[in-house]
Amino acid sequence: MAVAADHGHHFSKPSRDQIVLVEGRGAEGDAHAGPFVGHRYLARRRPRLPNLRQVHLIPFELFASLSKAGFVVGAGELGENITNAGLDLERMPLGTSSNSGPQPSSS
């Protein structure tokens, strides 16, 4: 697994040791985090449009497919926040929840 975030609006995101996911916002410190759409094109035209893609996930297996097609791509280079392996993201129903890493304590 790899994680990435970027304060600026760039295609690729630099890898990080960790990111913090905030419910209802996305990856803390990422340009696309927040309750409203963060893509510059849409934000200019419809600034109050709900942000339905707060965290961008890409399966690691995609990189192998791209490599076979002649493209060398690494984690974060497609703008994803999380690169994961072994999860069939395309078959997960809308609203699926997943946990990874340390969880907040409930005290």
The CA R_g of the chain, rounded to the nearest whole Å, is 15
Question: Over its length of 107 residues, how does the chain's per-residue pLDDT go in tens digits?
Answer: 899 999 988 889 999 999 999 988 999 999 889 898 877 788 888 888 888 878 889 999 999 999 999 999 999 999 999 999 988 888 888 778 777 766 666 65
Q: What angle do CA 60, 93, 52 make, to 5 degrees?
A: 80
Residue burial 86-107, b: 16+ Cβ < 10 Å; e: rest: ebeeeeeeeeeeeeeeeeeeee
Residues 22, 28: contact at Cβ < 8 Å?
yes
The two tokens of residue 67 are: 């490599």
Give the span between the Cα atoms of 67 and 64, in whole angstroms: 5
Domain chopping of the chain, boundaries: 2-91
Tell me the backbone φ, ψ of residue 40, rounded to 5 degrees. -55, -40
pTM: 0.80
Q: For residue 24, give both structure tokens.
A: 């209802």
From residue 77, give the alpha-carbon distance in Å to each of 58, 74, 94: 11, 6, 25
